[in-house]
Every structure is written in structure tokens, then in C-alpha cells.
Chain A
């Protein structure tokens, strides 16, 4: 187990460095001059050149790359081209904000989908199953910016129950978490339902029923645990789309997270900041996959012996 964790951590670092190299190359291939964007569209070339020089943007590509990677290896991700603040000091708080949003939304999505998916499978083809299917279909088909804006106007403007933007109090969490979580729960529910239908049709369930095991024990103890492996994979993968959705939710609910920061930094060609954002996004993704792998072993102890 420890060896696996060590291997995965080494893989994480290598993947991160490769990613940074790729981003560095990409930013220098696409058109757009960061110095020009800093100086403004109308700035004279002389001024743009002085900015290019001050920020080291006029150095040969190889020199810029070596200098950048050298600093990264010591934990220095450089400074933002626009705010001139260290990238880590900008990304750090934003990363925590996104993590808080994503974690709560993920928890909500998992709990809701496990309950609704299981109930749906229990009453397969019944009216309850159909209702859950319709709701989850709506959730899958409706983009976050639609549900988000509808929720803002209904709960924020019309009823004035909830604050709209920011993350000052726990009440600020409710709308973004529920909206982001609902979008994710919709897809998860269908997956849980499918896995549970398959698990409930297996021989050991028939045996349990024949032995007179109560229905809730059959569903939540026997069937659900066996259905968990594919469900967990799906939850792990779902985190990727959750982070993508978080960027949209962050813009709508004015959540000061990493997604919003990343989009802004790409649009302004703030290379150090973009690299920092994507690097930490990728690290979250790799870490979650590591956690999912560890959970596999907990759910199915046979894997530990392989």
C-alpha cells in the first residue's frame, strides 16, 4: 500500500512537471503578447518593449523555460504579470475556496445520488423510478448557468432568502453548493441506479431474499457495497467535470475560486498565473484519483492482494 502511494506521488510530480512544460510551450505558440496586454492596446511600442524587458519576456525561450522550471522545483511559481504578487499567494486561498465548494457539492451529489439511485433501482419501472429519472434527466440537460441564474432570481431577488454572491457566511454556500451538486447528482443518480439494478439481479441477492433478509439490508448493505466499485470510479471521474462546472458556478455566484481565476488569467495571457492554476487543478485531480484507488482497496479487499 505504501509503495503504491509513493509511486503515485512520484507520478504526480512528473505529471505536474510535464504539464507545466506543455503549458509553457502552448503559451508561446498561440498568438497574443502578454506585454502588450499589460501595457494596453494603445500603448507605444517603446513602452511595451520596456515591459517585455522588465518581465524577462524578451529572453530566449530556452532561458525562460530553464529559469521558470528551476524556480518551480524550489516551490516558486513566479509572480503574476498583472498584479505582481507571488502566484502561490494568489492561488493558495483560491484553491481552498474551490476545494470547499467542490467538496460540499460533491458530498451533496454523492448522498443524494446514492439515496435516489438506490430507491430508483428498488422500485425499478415504477412511478417513483420514472420520477427520479425525469428529474435526473432535467439535471443533466440543464447547464449550471441556467439553473444558477434561475435560483439567483428566485431565492435571491424574489424571495430574498439567500445572499447571491461571495462566500462570507454559511448562507452564501447554500445556492452554489446545491446548484453545482444538483448538476452532478443528476448524472450520478443514473449511474447508481444502473449499477444497483445490476447488483440487485445477482444470485447472492436472490439467496439473501430467500433467507428472509430485510429489504433495506439487502439494498444498502449487500447490493450497494457490491455496486460501489463502478460507482466510485464514476464519482472520481465526476470530479473533473465538477471542477469544470465549478468555474462556471464561481462566475455566476461570484465565488472567489480557482476556476474563475484560471479563466481570467488565460484571457489576459498571465502565463505564470495560468500555469499555477492548471498545475494545482491537475494536482487535485490526481490526488482524488489516488484517494479513489485507496478506497477501492477498502471496499474490495481482494484488490490489496493482487
Chain B
């Protein structure tokens, strides 16, 4: 009898708890204290001007803040700048700065500090200066107002300033320690103060008690362990040695989903894979042929076999992914992606371009009987690059094109794809492009514009089209968002007609966190903002983790 009463009582308590849980889950109250242990990778310096990699930003963003920030919802919001305005001729952008903010070394954050950082970036050619094209100088108008003076209007300036690498470090610390000093001890205004750093091992950030956002951060500290091996990273998460792991391999997702102590989160990244087509190499100068290559590529097959169905999504627009300014769905009605897989259509386009299998050997030949043979460059690096290269060979050989797959080591590959059209040996190459500022200016002006042909820019296709160039230049200066978005859309439509590359899926990012961690923001640039992160200490103890 007693047992039955106990059982009923327990069931009622459980039921009540279950009913209460959704409400509690929606409004968890942040707790102060605890150390959050993350995994990361930092092969280069921590100095923002010399490390623009996502891995680097993921580390120094804890200490170093930008004037404006790009949120997870892809909105530009104030951070160290409270507001901004443009001059009538749109050549000057003025920022009103937050007052009462101090760098971790005790010096004041003010207009002079901002001007000093950006003027130094221009003078010393920090790695991000290409994003500040047209910026002549930065002037401190008064203590809390700073002006960016441009040679021509640039709609991309604001989103570019949200790029985490353009954070404001302490000019005093910079003068005293130089790039090398800040490279191992970054001094900014951020929520955490860097206190320890052991190269190749770990970095420790402690709570900034004087942080300008009152009440934040919640954590006592963030420790980042540098763990290069993905399997080890996951094992450390599962054993409770660390609290969060980014870049979870797609094939591990189904297994980890079943783990109750681990929360998985998948977000769409700003990175899209693509196959470079050397537009200057005959017969790839023919848009018909390039379109045929696009239609012959089974993008869904790539997602299924390389990304386990979850690690990537079908692209809906050329180059731009959702969240990038001006992104629009450019798919044909009823189709699941741009250039949907259609081998018959690809064959017919290839025929229109003058190629068909004339002797029945399975390969297409031109009118003179010459087999269409292309050289595809790939590397064993990145997320799935090598696997995609192998699949591309299969897809294109099904179309009847002979493919020679050249797999190179990373540095050699990089060198082979950093040359001008005369020296380029590749017909096709597997790469990916990222739009970390979520603004289309970089892909328009720097990745596809005629002036951006390698080695000057990042146009490795040697693609050139007067109309896309014109539209890119128009979008570069247009400040009206509606008009600018319309121009971007026209630009994308042109790209679909001209198919300068083979468009592949957009990468997803998955991070795995112990279920007692709340509040941390996973940003599309593949960085983690721990300003609002907190730990449920009771749950952590319950899971047997007593670090």
C-alpha cells in the first residue's frame, strides 16, 4: 500500500516537474561563477591585426571588442560605439563612442584610442586592411567622437567594422609591448581579462569586474584548451574534461544527439563550397559549358555522403548564404537549389557547347574529335574538401568529361591557386568562400570583380563581365538599403546566367555543449561569445563533473 502511495506521489511530483519544465527552460535564471572550459586552436599570434582566422577571433574576442557587432540574427548593433551617422557626401562616417569604458590596463577607451588603432592598421598594413579599402584616415573629433574619412563612399564600412578582427586593443599596451607582446597577451575592453597563455596548450581569461555591461559576464573565467584532434576534442567533452566543442564532425551528430548530458546546436554558416572554374582556359570560357558542369553536380548527394545529411544545406543563391545582406532566394520555382541536379539538361547544354560522345567511348569530344579533359585540383584539408573533389570527379565523368584529379598538400595547393591567369595550371579547383562580415561587398568587389583577378584579389576564376562589375561598383557605394539589395539581386541573377563557378552546398556549423551551460552565443563566423554564458552548478555536480 505504502509503495503504491509512494509511486503515485512520485508520479505526481514528476508530472508537476514536467509541466513546470518548459516554463523553466524558457526563463532560466543566470547563475554567477564557475569556469567554462572550451576547446580551440591558435597556431598564430593572438594579435588581431596579424590573425584574422576564425580560430584566432574565437580566442581574442573574449578580451577585445569592436565598435559595432554582428549578432547571431545578422544584425549590426552598437558595441563600443553607441551610434553612428554618415556625412552628406557619404565619405565620412562618424561614431559616437560609449563613455566610461576602460581597457584592461586601466587606460581610457576614447576616440584617440580608436583613431590610433585604425591609423596604425593602415600604416602597418594589418591583415584586414583590404576590407578598409578607401579609408584614408581616422580622426578623433573630440574625446568620444571619431570620424572615418573615406576617398569614396562605401556601404561596406559598417559591416566590416563588425568583423571581430577589427577590435580595439589598448594603444598604450601596443606602444609598450608591440605586436609581439599583444600577440601573447591581448589587452582590450572585453568581458574577460587575459591572465595566462601557454602557447599550444591553453589560454585563460578571468572575469573583468569593471566591464561596462553591468552584471556581465556571469562566469568567473573562460579557459580555452588548444586541442587539434577532433576525436580527442569530442572525447574530452564526453568525459567532462571540457564544456564545449565547436566543429563537431557531421557523422558524430546522430550519436551525440542521444547523449542527454550534451546539447547540440546547428547553425547555418557564411561559408559556401564551390568549384573554381578557370574562365580563361578554353573551352571553359563558354557559359553554356559552365552551366552544364553545374547541372551535372549532385549537390544533395554531396550533402548526404560528405556531410551526413546535416553538415551542409543546399544553396539557394550564388555565393551568398542566408543572413548576408541582399541575400534572396534565387532558385527556379519548385526547385530545391540553384542549378538543380539534372544530368539530361547538362548533357544537352554540353551538346550546345559543341561537345558530345561521338565515338561511344563514354567521353565527350569536340567537332575535331578531341576529348574534353580537365584538371581538377583538390587538397586534403578543410571540411570535406577531398571527399567533394572525389565526388566531383565522378559527377563530371558521368557527364563524359575526363577528369584528372590532382591532390596537393595544403601549402602547395595554396601556392598553385595564388597565381595569375598565365601561370594557372588548373581548370577546376575545390574551394570555399566565406563572407564573415555578412555583407556582399567582399564577394562582389573582391572575389568576382575583374580588378580582383589573382594575384591582386581573390578572383581565381579570372571571371570578367562588365555587367557584374558595374553592379558590384554600384552596390559598393549605394547607401539606400532597399536600392542596394535590388542591385545585389541583379548581380546574383547575372551570376546564374554566367555560372563562373560550380555552386556547391552551404556549410552548417555544429557545436556540442554540456547541458549545464547556457547563454553562450554561437555566431555564424564560427566564433563563440561567452559574455552571457553561465553554468548551472547544481546540474554540473549532478553530472559528476567537479573541476
Contact = CB atoms under 8 A, between A and B. Distances in A.
Q: Do A and B come together as binding partners?
A: yes
Interface of A: 30-33, 36-48, 50, 82-85, 90, 93-94, 149, 152-153, 156-157, 160, 163-166, 251-254, 256, 260-261, 264, 267-269
Nearest to B234: A157
B412 A32 contact: yes
A166 B201 contact: yes
B239 A267 contact: no
Q: Which of B45, B52, B411, B417 has the most CB of A within 10 A?
A: B411
A85 B183 contact: yes
Q: Which 9 A-B pairs have the closest CB atoms?
A: A32-B411, A45-B455, A42-B458, A82-B44, A256-B201, A31-B412, A157-B238, A31-B415, A256-B200
B455 A254 contact: no
12 contacts: A30-B412, A32-B414, A37-B411, A83-B183, A84-B47, A90-B199, A149-B231, A152-B231, A251-B229, A252-B229, A260-B228, A268-B43
A13 to B, nearest CB: 28
Interface of B: 43-45, 47, 50, 52-53, 125, 127, 129-130, 179-180, 183-184, 198-202, 225-229, 231-232, 235-236, 238-241, 409-412, 414-418, 431, 433, 446-447, 454-458, 544
A149 B230 CA distance: 11
B127 A47 contact: yes
Nearest to B235: A152
A47 B125 contact: yes
A94 B412 contact: no
Nearest to A84: B180
Contacts of B412: 30-32
Contacts of A156: 235-236, 239, 241
Nearest to A33: B415
Contacts of B447: 42
Given A33-B415, A84-B180, 20 more contacts: A31-B411, A31-B415, A32-B409, A33-B418, A42-B447, A42-B457, A43-B130, A45-B454, A45-B456, A47-B127, A47-B129, A50-B125, A82-B43, A82-B45, A85-B183, A85-B184, A90-B199, A152-B231, A156-B241, A166-B202
Q: Which of A39, A90, A157, A164 has the most CB of B within 10 A?
A: A164
Contacts of A50: 125
Contacts of B454: 45
A93 B235 CA distance: 26
A303 B232 CA distance: 48
A260 B232 CA distance: 14
Given A30-B412, A43-B130, A256 B198 contact: yes
A164 B235 contact: yes
A153 B201 contact: no
Contacts of B198: 93, 256
Given A32-B411, A40-B52, A84-B183, A160 B239 contact: yes
A40 B202 CA distance: 24
Contacts of A30: 412
A32 B458 CA distance: 17
Contacts of A36: 414-415, 418
A63 B470 CA distance: 46
B199 A165 contact: no
B200 A261 contact: yes
B272 to A, nearest CB: 14
Given A94-B200, A164-B235, A43 B127 contact: yes
Nearest to A83: B45
Given A30-B412, A31-B416, A165-B225, A39 B232 contact: no
A147 to B, nearest CB: 13
A37 B414 contact: yes
A85 B454 CA distance: 31
